[in-house]
Chains A and B, each alone.
Chain A
């Protein structure tokens, strides 16, 4: 019996091995769970024996995977979890987040291969910062990247889009334990992958993105699990300094700070710092600490404000500074468009679309309507809306 015979056996074997490892099962346990001998299981994982359909269904159940995940013909992105295995992963929830990052990268990679599109990489070389302090290394990389990407020195409001489209990284938003801010690894064939915690506030997510981008630029081939409380290692300190310098570039920030000071007749208040934070889409604390680092505010200014009872949220409400929604787009926007196009043209089923987006069916349909539709204003000022639909099918296109 040759089940799924058009899936290359080595690929099928690799997928089964990856799924077993992600489940944390030994070969002996898996073999017992399926009711085959261990040599038989090894033979299947080595791509030497064709599993029966019933065995594949049992494997999927045992490993908590969809059958589709096991029988698709793209090789698994095994290296991603392997790369993370080399670092401290912390809790079981953190390991689950790493596994989910791999599965998301796998899903998007499969989609891109099946659609014949690959992500354009516009990666700079790793910055040579040997011999520099963390602060100097971070400033060098942040300034050069701003220049390379043509970002100027103002607030950077579409960071995720820049990293996905202009750099060619894959950014995913997925649930993680609250103490974990993000994940980062570069593995082939998927390239640079960043995971941000979908449960964190928007400003924290942006900070994490910039932090992980710092790792990409400066320590590209080490996988990172980034904690909310920054680690003490030099690499972590540099990535933190990079996030500050990249999100709040010195020259532009000084200009805006001076403008605020002039408007107040030479002083700066907490209100100005809150407004600067909102303009740069960073937290008030991050802005204040950056201003302290740049010696625009006295050291300890923020701490003393907090000790005196500053309530940031109340102050923001009073000033009418809106809370931005969390970024909960699980997969990169480009992958969403690609998936919707494939869905509308009958190359991606609704079940697979929903799975890729990690949404229920109706929510996935809403994404289709949102991304396939387009609005504009017509001559008379009325709103026009178009919904993209594929051409009627012909025999030839089938």
Chain B
């Protein structure tokens, strides 16, 4: 992972990272500018938190993440082509990632498959990979990392799939006893 390079989040990755850490500090913590495309940002982005025994939807504040807009025929044409199989946010994220060669954070199996065929320049990263990089570079206490991963599981209902290369790191890091 190249330090300093911009990082693009699709809705799936954005939700997961927002559950782990405040998005306001993510860019500084990673040492990289963070972006989201307009279509992904406009898809309803909530975390589900347990408040007073009830599961409550909490809107994710995207104020700290600048939104990118599709620009030019090449991006628009790829976007429309990808939107045949993907949701608009996923298609727009992949189109910009491919055309501008930005790393894209998504855990979506379908988006990854489609990218392999139709947006090969898109460099895909998973949530676990980003959080592991963050844990390595920031070196927070182990219990803080464990709490962050549990927040992702609880607030975002996400755990890396069985074939995620960082699954074993995730499972081991989340179990750290406080």
Tell me whether A68 and B163 are in contact in the complex, defined as CB-CB below 8 angstroms, given that A53-B77, A351-B90, A360-B57 are known contacts. no
A366 at the interface (CB under 8 A from B): yes
Other than the given A343-B109, A351-B43, 19 more pairs (CB < 8 A) read A53-B80, A54-B73, A66-B88, A67-B83, A67-B88, A67-B91, A68-B83, A68-B84, A349-B90, A351-B12, A351-B88, A352-B86, A354-B87, A355-B87, A361-B43, A362-B15, A363-B48, A365-B158, A392-B163
Name the contact of A389 in the complex, choosing from B45, B70, B86, B162 (C-beta under 8 A).
B162
Which residues from chain A contact B77 at a C-beta distance below 8 Å? Answer: 1, 3, 53
Which of chain A's residues has its CB closest to B76's CB? Answer: A53
Are B81 and A4 within 8 A (Cβ)? yes
Any B CB within 8 A of the CB of A80: no
Q: Determine which of A68, A71, A346, A362 lies in contact with B46 in the assembled complex, contact meaning CB atoms within 8 Å.
A: A362
- Residue A188, interface by CB 8 Å: no
Contacts of B145 in A (CB 8 A): none
A10 to chain B, nearest CB (A): 16
> Which of A1, A344, A349, A392 touches B87 (beta carbons < 8 Å)?
A349
A347-382 interface with B by 8 A CB criterion: 347-352, 354-355, 360-363, 365-366, 369
Known: A349-B90, A398-B113. A71 touches B15 (CB 8 A): no
Q: Which 5 A-B pairs have the closest CB atoms?
A: A351-B87, A346-B109, A53-B76, A365-B157, A349-B110
CB distance from A331 to the nearest CB of B (A): 16
Is residue A167 contacting chain B, with contact meaning CB distance below 8 A? no
**CB-contact partner of B108 in A56, A349, A398, under 8 A:** A349
Using Cβ atoms and an 8 Å threshold, which residues of chain B touch A343? 109-110
11 contacts between A and B (CB under 8 A): A4-B84, A53-B77, A60-B88, A68-B91, A349-B90, A349-B111, A350-B90, A360-B45, A361-B15, A363-B48, A365-B157
In the bound complex, what is the Cα–Cα distance between A347 and B48 (angstroms)?
A: 26
Instruction: List residues of chain A with CB within 8 A of the CB of B111.
Output: 349-350
A residues in contact (CB < 8 Å) with B: 1, 3-4, 6-7, 52-54, 56-57, 60, 66-68, 71-73, 343-352, 354-355, 360-363, 365-366, 369, 389, 392-393, 398
Asked if B155 and A54 sit within 8 Å, CB to CB, the answer is no
B116 touches A361 (CB 8 A): no
On whether the beta carbons of B163 and A393 are closer than 8 Å, the reply is: yes
Nearest-CB distance from A397 to chain B (Å)?
A: 9
CA distance A351 to B37 in the complex (A): 14
- Contact indicator A3/B162 (Cβ below 8 Å): no
Expressed in whole angstroms, the minimum distance between the Cβ of A390 and any Cβ of chain B is 8
- Tell me the smallest distance from the CB of A277 to a CB of chain B, in Å: 29
Which of B45, B83, B110, B157 is within 8 Å of A348, CB to CB? B110
CA distance A7 to B111 in the complex (A): 20
Given A66-B88, A343-B110, A365-B157, CB of A350 within 8 Å of CB of B80: no
Assembly CA distance A60 to B79 (angstroms): 13
Given A4-B84, A349-B90, residue A362 in contact with residue B48 (CB < 8 A): yes
B46 touches A360 (CB 8 A): yes
Closest to A4 in B: B80
- The chain B residues found within 8 Å of chain A, CB to CB, are 11-12, 15, 43-48, 57, 70, 73, 76-77, 79-81, 83-91, 108-114, 116-117, 155-158, 161-163
Least Cβ distance of B37 to chain A in Å? 12
Given contacts A54-B73, A346-B109, contact A361 B86 (CB under 8 A): no
Q: Which residues of B contact A54 (CB under 8 A)?
A: 73, 76
Q: Give min CB distance, A328 to chain B, whole Å.
A: 14
Q: Assess the B79–A67 pair: CB atoms within 8 A.
A: yes
Select B47's contact among A348, A362, A392, beta carbons within 8 Å.
A362
Shortest CB distance A385–B (Å): 14
Interface centre among A346, A355, A366 (most CB of B within 10 A): A346
A11–chain B nearest beta-carbon distance, Å: 11
Residues on the A chain within 8 Å of B117, using CB: 398
Q: How far, in whole Å, are A56 and B108 apart by their CA atoms in the complex? A: 25
| Chain A residues whose CB sits within 8 angstroms of the CB of B157 once the complex forms | 362, 365-366, 369
Complex CA–CA separation, A389 to B88 (angstroms): 26
Which of A1, A6, A360, A369 is in CB contact (< 8 Å) with B73? A1
- Most chain-A CB neighbours within 10 Å: which of B43, B83, B157? B83
Distance to closest chain A CB from B94 (angstroms): 10
Bound Cα distance from A71 to B163, whole angstroms: 31
Nearest-Cβ distance from residue B97 to partner chain A, whole angstroms: 15
Residues of B within 8 A of A3 (CB): 77, 80-81
Instruction: Tell me which of A71, A73, A349, A362 contacts B155 (CB under 8 A).
Output: A362
Q: How far is the CB of B59 from chain A (nearest CB, A)?
A: 10
On whether the beta carbons of B87 and A352 are closer than 8 Å, the reply is yes
CB distance from A295 to the nearest CB of B (A): 47
Instruction: Name the A residues within 8 Å of B45 (CB-CB).
Output: 360-361
A339 CA to B90 CA, complexed, in Å: 17
B84 touches A72 (CB 8 A): yes
Instruction: Please report the C-alpha to C-alpha distance between residue A354 and residue B110 in the assembled complex, in whole angstroms.
Output: 14
B116 neighbours in A (Cβ, 8 Å): 398
What B residues does A355 contact at CB under 8 A?
87
Chain A hits for B108, CB < 8 A = 349-351
Q: Which residues of B contact A6 (CB under 8 A)?
A: 84
